[in-house]
Structure 1
Amino acid sequence: MQNQQYAAPEWHKNNTPITVKADVYSFGVMLLEIICCRKNMDISLKDEEIILMDWVYHCYEAGELRKLVNEEGLDMEEAEKLVKIGLLCVETEFASRPTMKEVILMMEGIVSILPPASPYPSGRG
């Protein structure tokens, strides 16, 4: 059975098809974990940092990507690209996620990367 921390939201909804986009979601979680060198959920952190995807999106929106990485000399342009790809992969609606082929093309710089949508319903965040 797939680890719950990597399971796409559609795994928990009735009458929602499970597509290859569920794997894209899992890849996005893993990518964000690698970028930030931490688990998807860590209850030992401050409230706003417990859920990795929420914290990453908040830092992305605030232009504070440096908070996500603790690596000096890191190419922040590359880090921002990977953060955006990770956030696109973890879109709540599976139809909004890119395909793995699109993810690879974005990583290679062949396809432009759209800004990720807010994971929050309007008025929250």
Structure 2
Amino acid sequence: MTTAVQPPLPSLPLLRLRLAPARSMPRPIDGAWWPRSYDLLAELPQLLAGLPRAWGHITSVTVHGAAWTAVPGRVLVFNQVVQLRRSLTPSAPHTIVLLTPGRGRWDLLVVPPDTTEEAAGHLMAAAADGQT
């Protein structure tokens, strides 16, 4: 009997996400996400897959700023429809807002993809510690 060797599956890059500890009081920023690009359709599935299960199914995502490419009205992610919106309000230009009906809203600082690793680390730590 011969055994066929399966080639290894391609590994996904690690999700660059840092969340603030859970608290009973709301906070302005719930953590930070450092995507590899501004291609929302490529980046969003990995982000949603890496979120805590307690957050539930994210049904709505709002990105702030004009830097994001391709923000259609909705997209299918893991066989679930997610509404996508773009906001150009100046109040939070570098954030992404995630909504789950009946569970809550989470705002994440978006660290620009071209940020150096050292600077991104500092920004993500500050966001997770509530210093943004």
TM-score when normalising by structure 2: 0.24
Larger Rg: 2
More strand by share: 2
Whose helix proportion is higher, 1 or 2?
A: 1
Ranked by relative contact order (alpha carbons within 8 Å, sequence separation 6 or more), the top structure is 2
TM-score, normalised by the number of residues in structure 1: 0.25
